[in-house]
């Protein structure tokens, strides 16, 4: 910036304070491209549908006829010997066949369970199903933390924080990383720790912001009772005026940042209610998702995700926390599936019809999978193979990738680690996982850790 020599820094701060809108964007939403993209970015945003608790791949995306044949028979010891199991450790291991039917869908003929009819019939040709993912942890807490932060040890930044940090945010007056949680009527409610969207050692402004259902969607967003919008505006202006007067006394740049943050906060107080107000959505869109308004349901959160994506939010994560089916897997997974199927397909359809699927990524999956062995009439946790699917910008549509052995126990073909998933998502966003780093405890720390990992080129266009 070329300033006439007589205008010193102090004057600049003062003047900048007077044009707050621009300042707010400049100071808090600065784009920070850490690495030159290895390839051009294929996508601008990610919407991650997270089935917390561990969706069973054997009823949804990984059909294993052998399991049906051996249903009720002992699991061969050769497969399970020395393996780390969850609650089944030390128990008699019995094969459990698929509890629901599978069919081939679409032109691609992808195999998907019938309990997800909408996703199967409308999206089979859009999605890339990866059946060979494995993870490090077999208990929920550590597995969630690994899926979200690339480490089982708490304190690392979440994927969304990394991406916001690496690319900045395009949304005006909205955070770059938004999280929503819905609770269904089936299964065991998974606890979800706020750690899953924490910015860890990255600066705090990259922390994911939870949008809650109800009257106070973002914490502390509502004006205090009895304070009108005008009164709040007067307050913000008074605070900013006082801060500007202080910045005449001091050259502390933090003051200018603070002034702009008040502007941003005030604007969020309008932009968020606008965002949550579905009245301008046509009835056929509400019907498509199966929601009537922002009520905290998975369907409403999916519609909200599209609205957030339209406004330029970088990373949107939606939890549905009812997938831990240790018992009654047949009935419970059908129930949980019925709560996500229509809205998931609707989100895909809606993004596509708006041309947004080309530069958005949709991720669908859990922290781990479920065991091919029965646990009573349920399934236990399983970490050595599970399924996720991906769709959108840069991803091959209608593709099945990777495979498990005939018992579905191990990923045997095109094995994909959680770090590989992270590296691939970063790659699609134009970030090189090896270069997106932050100095923490003396080391250049990355989302993908220190071990080897790779971009899954097979799933890329």
Query: Interaction with other proteins in 32-61: which residues (CB under 8 A)?
Result: none
Candidates 37-45, 125-133, 247-255, 328-336 — which segment interacts with other proteins by CB under 8 A?
A: 247-255
The two tokens of residue 416 are 């994909």
Nearest to 262 by CA among 325, 395, 173: 173
* CA 20 to each of CA 14, 26, 270, 329: distance values in angstroms, whole numbers, following the listed order: 10, 10, 16, 55
Question: Taking a C-beta distance cutoff of 8 angstroms, is the pair 382, 368 a contact?
Answer: yes
4 binds other proteins (CB under 8 A): no
Query: Per rule CB under 8 A, is residue 235 in the interface with other proteins?
Result: yes
State the minimum distance, in angstroms, from the CB of residue 287 to other proteins: 28
* Site residues (CB under 8 A) for other proteins, limited to 116-175: 138-142, 153-155
Strand blocks (E) in 148-229: 177-182, 209-210
Residue 9 contacts other proteins per CB under 8 A: yes
Binding other proteins (rule: CB under 8 A), the pick from 192, 299, 348, 395 is 192
Residues 6+ apart with CB under 8 A from 164: 175, 176, 177, 206, 314, 315
The torsion region of residue 393 among left (phi > 0), alpha (psi -120 to 50) and beta comes to beta
190 lies in the binding site for other proteins (CB under 8 A): yes
257 neighbors 27 (Cβ within 8 angstroms)? yes
Touching other proteins, residues 193-212 (CB under 8 A) = 193-195, 198, 201-205, 207, 209, 212
Residue 146: CB minimum distance to other proteins, A = 13
Q: Per rule CB under 8 A, is residue 223 in the interface with other proteins? A: yes
Q: How far is Cα 143 from Cα 145, in angstroms, rounded to an integer?
A: 5
- CA-to-CA distance for 50 and 181, rounded, in angstroms? 9
How crowded is residue 300: how many other Cβ atoms within 10 Å of its Cβ?
Answer: 23
| Smallest separation, CB 306 to other proteins (Å) | 23
Rule CB under 8 A: say whether 236 interacts with other proteins.
Answer: yes
Q: Name residues contacting other proteins, limited to 380-399 (CB under 8 A).
A: 380-381
How many other C-beta atoms are found inside a 10 Å radius of the C-beta of residue 11? 13
One of 8, 76, 273, 376 touching other proteins (CB under 8 A): 8
Tokens of residue 129, six digits: 């199903």
Shortest reach from residue 441's CB to other proteins, in Å: 5
Please check whether residue 47 is in contact with residue 362, taking contact to mean a CB–CB distance below 8 angstroms: yes
Binding positions for other proteins, 407-446, rule CB under 8 A:
441-444
Q: Which is nearer to other proteins, 222 or 415 (CB)?
A: 222
Minimum distance from CB of 191 to other proteins (Å)?
4
- Closest-CA residue to 428 (of 395, 389, 387): 395
Q: How far is the CB of 197 from other proteins (least distance, A)?
A: 11
Q: Which C-beta is closer to other proteins: that of 355 or that of 452?
A: 452
**Is 100 or 419 the residue whose CB approaches other proteins more closely?**
419
Nearer to other proteins, 295 or 413 (CB): 295
The closest alpha carbon to 209, from 264, 154, 258, 286, belongs to 264
Q: Is 274 in the site for other proteins (CB under 8 A)?
A: no
Tell me the CA distances in angstroms from 199 to 27, 205, 212, 292, one per residue in order. Answer: 19, 8, 19, 33
Instruction: Identify the bridge partners of residue 370 per DSSP, sorted by sequence position.
Output: 381
Residues 311-330, interacting with other proteins (CB under 8 A): 321, 326
Binding mask 57-86 for other proteins (x = CB under 8 A): -------------------------x-xxx
Q: Report in angstroms how near the CB of residue 303 gets to other proteins at its nearest.
A: 21
Residue 218 within binding range of other proteins, rule CB under 8 A: yes
229: contact with other proteins by CB under 8 A? no
């Amino acid at each position: 910036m070329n300033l006439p020599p007589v205008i010193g820094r102090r004057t600049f701060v003062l003047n900048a304070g007077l044009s707050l809108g621009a300042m707010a964007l400049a100071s808090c939403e600065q784009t920070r491209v850490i690495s030159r993209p290895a390839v051009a970015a294929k996508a601008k945003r990610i919407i991650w549908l997270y089935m917390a608790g561990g969706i069973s791949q054997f009823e949804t995306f990984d059909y294993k006829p052998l399991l049906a044949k051996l249903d009720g028979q002992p699991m061969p010891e050769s497969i399970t010997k020395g393996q780390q199991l969850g609650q089944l450790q030390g128990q008699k291991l019995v094969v459990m066949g698929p509890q629901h039917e599978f069919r081939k869908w679409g032109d691609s003929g992808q195999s998907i369970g019938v309990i997800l009819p909408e996703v199967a019939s409308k999206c089979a040709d859009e999605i890339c199903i990866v059946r060979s993912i494995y993870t490090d942890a077999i208990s929920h807490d550590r597995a969630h933390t690994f899926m979200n932060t690339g480490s089982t040890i708490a304190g690392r930044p979440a994927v969304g924080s990394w991406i916001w940090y690496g690319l900045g945010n395009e949304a005006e007056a909205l955070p770059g990383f938004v999280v929503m949680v819905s609770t269904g009527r089936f299964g065991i409610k998974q606890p979800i720790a706020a750690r899953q969207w924490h910015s860890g050692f990255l600066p705090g402004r990259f922390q994911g912001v939870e949008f809650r259902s109800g009257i106070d969607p973002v914490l502390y967003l509502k004006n205090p009772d009895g304070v009108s919008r005008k009164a709040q505006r007067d307050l913000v202006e008074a605070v900013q005026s006082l801060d500007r007067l202080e910045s005449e006394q001091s050259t502390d740049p933090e003051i200018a940042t603070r002034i702009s943050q008040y502007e941003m906060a005030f604007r969020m107080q309008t932009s968020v209610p606008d965002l949550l107000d579905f009245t301008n959505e046509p009835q056929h869109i509400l019907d498509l998702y199966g929601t009537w308004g922002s009520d905290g349901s998975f369907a409403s959160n999916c519609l909200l995700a599209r609205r957030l994506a339209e406004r330029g939010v970088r990373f949107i994560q939606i939890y549905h926390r009812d997938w831990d089916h240790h018992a009654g897997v047949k009935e419970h997974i059908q129930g949980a599936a019925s709560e996500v199927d229509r809205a998931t397909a609707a989100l895909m359809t809606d993004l596509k019809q708006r041309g947004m699927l080309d530069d958005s990524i949709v991720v669908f999956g859990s922290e781990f999978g479920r065991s091919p062995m029965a646990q009573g009439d349920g399934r236990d946790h399983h970490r050595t193979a599970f399924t996720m699917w991906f769709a959108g910008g840069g991803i091959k549509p209608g593709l099945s990738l990777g495979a498990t052995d005939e018992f579905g126990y191990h990923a045997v073909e095109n094995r994909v680690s959680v770090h590989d998933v992270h590296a691939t998502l970063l790659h699609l966003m134009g970030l090189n996982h090896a270069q997106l780093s932050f100095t923490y405890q003396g080391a250049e720390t990355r989302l993908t850790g220190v071990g080897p990992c790779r971009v899954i080129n097979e799933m890329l266009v």
